[in-house]
Amino acid sequence: MPDLRQRFGDRLVEALKARIRSGASPEISPEAFAAGLGRAYPDAEIDGFLDAAADDGLLTRDEGWICAVATCRQPMDADARAGHLCPTCDTDDRETGEEPLHVVRYRIQGGVSRDIHWLIAVHGMNTRGQWQEDFSWRIANKLKYSAPVLIYKYGWASWDVLFAWRHRQLARGLGERIRAAVTFARSNGITAPPDIVVHSFGSRLFSLVLLDEAFSDLRFGRVITAGCIIRPDFDWSRLIVGGRVEAVLNHCGGKDRPVPWAHYTIPGTGPAARRGFGDPKAFNAMDADFGHSSCFARANLTDNLGKGGLWDRFLQHPLETFSDPRLFTPEAWRPAWWPARLIVRLVVLALVGAVVLGVFGAFAIGAYEVAGCLRGLVARIGPIIGLN
């Protein structure tokens, strides 16, 4: 709503957003809107603002006529006006001298809310993803209807995340599991695409599913990323315009320390959780004090999913009115110099190799010493028990 804000100021824009987010009746009357602002009606500015909101597609403008009798005020169609007789109170306006009143009403476009039909939660690396269970429980308790939550766990990933082939392997497992879940959901009458929350390395796997032609049949509703290690220049617009994804919210943390290192150590990744997505169709929200998993701390998860919380509004409210003080537009991002990334990756691989060799070496030495001890033991007690 930048144009509306520039022309009419913050107060009217925020009042309209609050009215849409309230989930009340989709009809807005200029009189009630003015009263909510403590202003008398008629008000030319409010009429102009609501008309401009209709021009922008946020509202639809309906004109009509109502009975002039104060105790009636019911709609009168063209035939009733032509016959001068109110169909509700049978008043003949030729007798009263009061002609039908012309009224304008506005209706909210796209509904006042959307349903969460079902969700998927994908955790980060080296975690049980305990937040997924908490997330599922809170979703079940916040909604007045059943919304299944698929909790996907891809296993324990460690040094193998340094290799792109392993990413693709894990992403195929995720894609196949989602496809099976979609098939099952449809068999139970749930035809809407799932919303999805992905964390850390789970965001990398999800991005690969979206880019893999083998899974081009999969569609998703609204996407929430947290601790995200997808590249900030990821092309969300193509996926949104193509119907693969409805919308994406990237919840960033100003103290997310692992994310900048991911770009240097894990192939194909980037610091989206710190820098934000540059795509104009993506929403980026920054909590300056959040670390890598702060979104899923119990108190923060309660705030995010509670009524009026950031995630609650993103998942359930119209995108046209979605806003938050934490939303920001990121600066342009460029990948780090590739030789620097290569050097860091080679160093990490060397360290991992040294650790692996050290573990195997220690195991070999230990096994050799154990074998020596066993040989000595046999040499000592063998004659006694008749082994020699």
326 within some domain: yes
Secondary structure of residue 78 in the 3-state scheme: helix
Residues 136 and 247 placed together within one structural domain of the fold: yes
297 within some domain: yes
Quick one: average pLDDT of 24-45? Answer: 85
Residues 252 and 388 placed together within one structural domain of the fold: no
Residues 91 and 160 placed together within one structural domain of the fold: no
Which value, to the nearest 10 degrees, does the dihedral of the CA atoms of residues 274, 275, 279, 281 take?
50
169-175: long-range contacts at Cβ-Cβ below 8 A with a sequence spacing of 24 or more? 170/205, 171/205, 171/206, 171/208, 171/209, 171/212, 172/212, 172/214, 174/122, 174/205, 174/206, 174/209, 175/209, 175/212, 175/214, 175/215, 175/218
Structural domain boundaries enclosing 371: 337-388
Residues 100 and 232 placed together within one structural domain of the fold: no
- HSE (side-chain half, CA atoms, 13 Å) at 332: 1
Is the pLDDT confidence value at 193 over 90?
yes
What is the pairing mode between strands 283-287 and 245-253?
A: parallel
63 within some domain: yes
pLDDT digits 0-9 by tens, 200-225: 999 999 999 999 999 999 999 999 99
pLDDT digits 0-9 by tens, 314-331: 998 888 778 888 999 999
Quote the mean pLDDT of the chain.
82
Residues 384 and 318 placed together within one structural domain of the fold: no
Quick one: average pLDDT of 31-44? Answer: 88
Quick one: average pLDDT of 4-10? Answer: 84
> Quick one: pLDDT at residue 387?
44
Where does a domain end: 64, 85, 108?
Answer: 108
Counted domains in the chain: 3
What is the radius of gyration, based on Cα positions, of the chain?
31
CATH number at residue 284: 3.40.50.1820
**Distance between CA 227 and CA 124 in Å, rounded?**
8
Is the pLDDT confidence value at 299 over 60?
yes
Q: CB of 100 within 8 A of CB of 65?
A: yes
Q: How confident is the model at residue 337 (pLDDT cuts 50, 70, 90)?
A: confident
> Quick one: pLDDT at residue 73?
81
Residues 139 and 286 placed together within one structural domain of the fold: yes
> Quick one: pLDDT at residue 182?
93
Residues 84 and 180 placed together within one structural domain of the fold: no
Q: CB under 8 Å to 80, separation ≥6 — which residues?
A: 86, 87, 100
Quick one: average pLDDT of 172-176? Answer: 94
Q: CB under 8 Å to 29, separation ≥6 — which residues?
A: 105, 106
Task: Please state, for a pLDDT cut of 90, what percent of the chain lies above it.
Answer: 31
Residues 317 and 185 placed together within one structural domain of the fold: yes
Residues 256 and 370 placed together within one structural domain of the fold: no
Where does a domain end: 86, 108, 130?
Answer: 108
Quick one: average pLDDT of 107-124? Answer: 75
Where does a domain end: 336, 359, 380?
Answer: 336
pLDDT digits 0-9 by tens, 367-387: 545 455 555 554 555 555 454
pLDDT digits 0-9 by tens, 263-291: 888 889 999 999 999 999 999 999 999 99
Q: How many residues does the chain have?
A: 388
* Segment holding 113, helix H or strand E: none
Residues 11 and 132 placed together within one structural domain of the fold: no
> Quick one: pLDDT at residue 285?
97
Secondary structure of residue 56 in the 3-state scheme: coil
pLDDT digits 0-9 by tens, 58-114: 788 888 888 888 888 888 888 888 889 898 888 888 888 888 888 888 887 655 567
